[in-house]
Structure 1
Amino acid sequence: MKIIILGAGRVGASVADSLVSERNDITVIDRDPDRLRELESRYDLRGVVGNGIDPTVLAEAGANDTDLLIACAAQDETNLVCCKVAQVMFSIPKLIARVRSSGLDKAEQLVGKDVFGVDRIICPEESLTRYIGKLIEYPEALQVREFAGGRACLVSVRARGGAPMVGHRISALRLMAPDVAMRIVALYRRFADEPDRFIACDGSTMIEPGDEVFVLSGREQIPEVLASFHRQQGRQARPVRRVMMAGGGRVALRLAHQLTKTGNFHIKIVELKNERCVELAARLPTEVLVLNGDATDEELLSNESIEEVDLFLAITSDDEDNIMASLLAKRMGASRVLALINRRSYADLMHGTQIDIALSPAQAMLGELLAYVRQGDVQAVHSLRRGVAEALEIVARGDRKSSRVVGRKVSEIHLPPEVNMGLIVRGLPDPMAHHDPEHPAPVEEPQVIIPRSHTVIESNDHVVFFLPNKRLVKEVEKLFRVSATYF
């Protein structure tokens, strides 16, 4: 696929990193030649210096035969105008704009060929807020990713000694919890003096304390799944009620609004700039406490009872400050800490240390972009393990004659050995099916199915896969592609 990316900032660079690895033809437009030279030295892509709303610059970038334009420059106005120019003058089929202004990201009136020509609006801050919200809802999880409209979830959890399912082989888990429909799709194990290593899962694999376990299950069973790997028997879960945020940026503002609307939370925001503190105090409910100070100040954290905080969020724009604030908060007694880290090298270093969750802002929203890049009926994509692995939801189409998967048992489907088919969601509405308004079909509750070797794939099944390496994506997509006649 030929793709133009407008903007070589953090979001643009992260998007380019992900898409270049999938052998797409990438061109990046930016006004800063130094940024472009840096990207060109790191990735196999082309840089064009200039203003993305200038038709001559777009033409130089190859807009005449481009399949997708992703506008993620610093200014919302630039992104929207660029998409309109690309639509009117070059008829680019797919247009995505990044916006940051609160309200614009929810303005459906902007989407469509008659307005700015945008097919999809994405907001990294909104994606990040939703992601953190899920971690607050499921406090024992390291990651929570949704599929099939939220009916199924992929969670990762750190295995703890003494938890019911830790210290057992995977083959024994079905007997230990016969009523819990779940599938372990991956393990990442700690080894001395080296990063976590992917461990292939089969029935003989033992779950050891410290393993990061990736599990697919129905949404209703996620709390039970997390408890079985992370909580010692007889102990109760500790819900998140006290939240402290280091940094009063857009994410903090959105998250504080969201939490005050949805639950009984005690929220504190620590912000270094005095004028921003005044603005936050004016825009947030009175129950949110805004503190003017430095989150790496040990005395400030002590005075604000950091040892009573359930979740400490370091979400400033500075990676080093986030890392240091998180480490300090953890050492002083905060139950869980999350650090927002843009640089992948830093995130790799911090993952699995005293920082419970090292989160990249771009990774939280990459799935929304990747779903547009993928071929066929890909419904959801989630980038995992800092972009190395991926979880993919794809819809089975066709029949036994036109498809390699429909009408066949799982044991008959020739998947790459590393790919793990995690679950199937059956019975979701099919937008491609013919509907008779006079004789509507009965409405049935969708089923979450854990596939076995004898399970037969049906048309319109939503199948969720875990891929430890993104290079396997093309093979899965090809397998699900419908042809006129399949031999």
Structure 2
Amino acid sequence: MFGSRSGKKTGLKIIIVGCGKVGVAILKQLANEGHDITIIDKDPQKVATYANQYDVMGIVGNGANHSVQLEAGIQNADLIAAVTSSDELNILCCTIAKQVGDCATIARLRDPDYSKEASYLREKLGLTMIINPELETAIEVSRVLYLPTALEINSFAHGQAEMTRIKIPEKNVLDNKSIADLGKDLANKQKPINILIAAVERAGEFYIPSGDFVLKAGDIMSCVGTRPMSRKFMEHIGFKTARVKNTMIIGGGNVAYYLAGQLVNMGISVKIIEENKKRCEELSVLLPRAIIINGDGTDQETLNEEGLAETESFVSLTGIDEENILLTLHARKHSNAKTITKINRSNFREVINSLDLGSVVYPCSITAESIVAYVRAKKNSNSNSIETLYHMFDSRAEAIEFRVDEKSEVTDIPLKDLNLKKNLLIAFINRNGSILLPTGQDSIQVGDTAMIVTTETGFTDIRDILA
């Protein structure tokens, strides 16, 4: 056993099985929020390193072993998250945990065969949540390819609202325009455009802008609205809104499989370049409407022969971050393609952000956000709970959608009369499926969901917005 629990832990008792990239991403976020965590892994070096780094308990062993789980305190645990690289081991971990303790169980399942049976597995095995980083990554990539001028698109209110992240180009209509003036322009159109500027990053600094904030070329801006309004806003500022017609994917792993299936159903032509011949044969059967090329996607000649110069989008999905980065830089130099890069490690984000990579997706972060949202909802004993959570701008801010199930100090009171915390914005209210971008006269009501953007972390309840 490694590590110690210095200081009083006020959060949940959580066991994380597997100290790979996903496990560490979850550990980092939950440890920062003060939970009582025990990690389990077969690798003594990993356990010792992460137990000391994050001040948690660490146990070397098989997480599916009954005695190992007992040593980790499964009897008193609130949650066990099994996120090893083996789907079968993760299922077994959760099954044993349910027999020994009375805790929530989360299993990482990557295999497409298991994903198809997700509902059955949840019901029959009593799994609280099944997470599939590869599938969630594919969904995020497909959103961006549907609106390729965006850097990132996050979905809220069951798809009714979106947060779209863009970079303001030189000589754009937004350059040197204040938020207030932009609001007047959009309101005075024949068909007003309802959009809210939720966050801006400029030269490494993060802002939740007020009306007098002046936008500049080079700013990275996140705006919130319904999907139709987001597209109208993009058109208004001169961004193309047509989805790509074709894409070239390098790497034929699970993310590529999930992504290609979604894209061909959207009418987008897909070409996958994969070096492993056996995998190419499998993909040819699984994806009959996609073009599968057996070749080295990191070879310049192969890329040229397969039409890099003409492709509208280029997605690098190999298992090696450095390869993905170099492929994207090459594609940006030799084509006009929309580029998307998969990065597995998140510890060099500052360096990655300084590169001109276009859109970047982090599967580990996507997974961690899902689990953090669940943990916060479970920690909160009230009926208000977290529907959706996204970390923004390298975790310097959070966008959280709360469900409001009961009356409280924040309901039925005009927003202008609420004593809100600083650096906090109420971005939208979802009322019966209609998205409201609130003014000071509007109020949050029971039955709504409300999305906030804040620079504080750890919110578990809508009442946390109050100072």
TM-score, normalised to structure 1, is 0.87
Distance 2:409 2:213 in 1: 30
Structure 1 position 82, deviation (Å): 1.3
Q: Which segment is superposed worse, 312-321 or 218-227?
A: 218-227
Counterpart residue type for residue 165 of structure 2? S
Q: Which segment is superposed worse, 127-136 or 100-109?
A: 100-109
Matched residue, 2:53? 42
1:277 aligns with 2:280: yes
From 424, 428, 431, the equivalent of 1:423 is: 428
Task: Pick closer, same or farther for the CA change 1:299–1:238 going to 2, 3 Å.
Answer: farther
From 103, 106, 109, the equivalent of 2:113 is: 103
Contact 1:380–1:392 (8 Å) recurs in 2: yes
Distance 1:161 1:334 in 2: 18
Task: Pick closer, same or farther for the CA change 1:447–1:258 going to 2, 3 Å.
Answer: closer
Structure 1 position 322, deviation (Å): 0.6
* Structure 1 stretches lacking a partner, 5+ long: 191-195, 428-445, 481-487
Contact 2:177–2:215 (8 Å) recurs in 1: yes
Structure 1 position 477, deviation (Å): 5.1
Aligned partner of residue 348 in structure 2, secondary structure: helix
1:299 aligns with 2:286: no
| Structural mapping, 1:391-410, within 5 Å | 391-399=399-407, 403-410=408-415
| Structural mapping, 1:99-178, within 5 Å | 99-107=109-117, 108-112=119-123, 115-178=124-187
Runs of 4+ in 1 over 4 A off after TM superposition: 474-477
From 91, 97, 107, the equivalent of 1:86 is: 97
Contact 1:344–1:386 (8 Å) recurs in 2: no
Q: Which segment is superposed worse, 208-217 or 237-246?
A: 237-246
Matched residue, 1:457? 444
Aligned partner of residue 256 in structure 1, secondary structure: helix
Q: Which segment is superposed worse, 367-376 or 166-175?
A: 367-376
Structure 1 position 475, deviation (Å): 7.6
Matched residue, 1:430? none
Matched residue, 2:43? 32
Matched residue, 1:207? 215
| Structural mapping, 1:235-274, within 5 Å | 236-263=240-267, 265-274=268-277
Structure 1 position 414, deviation (Å): 2.3
Task: Pick closer, same or farther for the CA change 1:412–1:396 going to 2, 3 Å.
Answer: farther
Task: Pick closer, same or farther for the CA change 1:331–1:216 going to 2, 3 Å.
Answer: same
Structure 1 position 225, deviation (Å): 2.5
Contact 1:396–1:405 (8 Å) recurs in 2: no
Contact 1:128–1:364 (8 Å) recurs in 2: yes
Aligned partner of residue 466 in structure 1, secondary structure: strand
Structure 1 position 457, deviation (Å): 1.9
Contact 2:201–2:393 (8 Å) recurs in 1: no
Distance 1:276 1:109 in 2: 28
Matched residue, 2:30? 19
Number of paired residues? 444
From 356, 368, 371, the equivalent of 2:370 is: 368
Contact 1:415–1:476 (8 Å) recurs in 2: no
Deviations 1:169-222 (A, max 9, x none): 0001121111111111110013xxxxx221230111111111111111112212
Structure 1 position 474, deviation (Å): 5.1
Counterpart residue type for residue 253 of structure 2? G
Deviations 1:48-76 (A, max 9, x none): 11111112111111212111111111111
Q: Identity over aligned residues, as a percent? A: 28
Structure 1 position 479, deviation (Å): 5.0
Distance 2:457 2:465 in 1: 15
Structure 1 position 297, deviation (Å): 1.9
Structure 1 position 168, deviation (Å): 0.6
